[in-house]
Amino acid sequence: MTTRTFVLVHGAWHDGQAWRRVRPLLEARGHRVRTPSLTGHGEKAHLLGPDVGLSTHVDDVVALVLAEDLTDVVLVGHSYAGMVISGVAARIPDRVALLVFLDAMVPADGESALDVMPVTQTMIDAAATSEHPWRIPPLPERPAPWGLFGVTDPDDLAWLCATLGDESVRCFLEPVHLGPRDAEAVPRAHVHCVDPSSPTRRPGVPDGERVRELVSGHDAMVIAPVELTELLLELSGAR
């Protein structure tokens, strides 16, 4: 078995606890795992402010990798964090062995989260009329079968809601800079979550990049941690 270093990056509104079921599964197989909370979330929730943006979150992950001198990193980004890991790979491509986009945004150079997912404008517009126009609260729970980010189990929903926090509008408006061509050499793979009740397809994956489908709602790390772990091991060549 090949030992890997996984850095698992959570999506918008979540924090590092989102990976609480996946991390021990990877560690039990002998791998090193880091699950940082991005600025404004988890233990860094008090740092949330209007100046927190995509570049802040890219800096968070770059700083972690450099501080711990991590190399050959399997960098996994969930949802919005597809933007984050793209920026990280552009900054330190020599440290990253593989990018895994988990039901994630996949930007081109100069695109923002709003460009990748225009429906985000609805949330930005709603925030603009609120008491704090720079912050966007978590999405509301929807009736079954959608739930909250695909999570429908009552206990999981209660736990998830307790961990979610607001996101800065700047995170969705700031463009990603993919930088030097060295970043293009970092291999990429994609895991698309496919819920039988609402199947989705994500166009635009370049030829030659591996794609796997996972029968799960959006928050696969909560809903299907065992299956997700096996996919991460397969894609990273760790099994």
What are the catalytic residues?
Answer: 79
Q: Among the residues of the chain, which ranges form H helices?
A: 22-28, 54-67, 81-91, 113-116, 120-128, 154-163, 169-173, 220-223, 225-235
Burial class (CB in 10 A: 0-12, 13-18, 19+), 111: middle
Residues 235, 58: Cα–Cα separation, whole Å: 23
The answer to whether the CB of 28 falls within 8 A of the CB of 238 is: no
In the structure encoding, which two tokens stand for residue 79, read together? 């949802």
- The count of residues in the chain is 239
The answer to whether the CB of 225 falls within 8 A of the CB of 231 is: no
Look at residues 119, 47, 41 and name the one whose alpha carbon lies nearest to residue 81.
Answer: 41
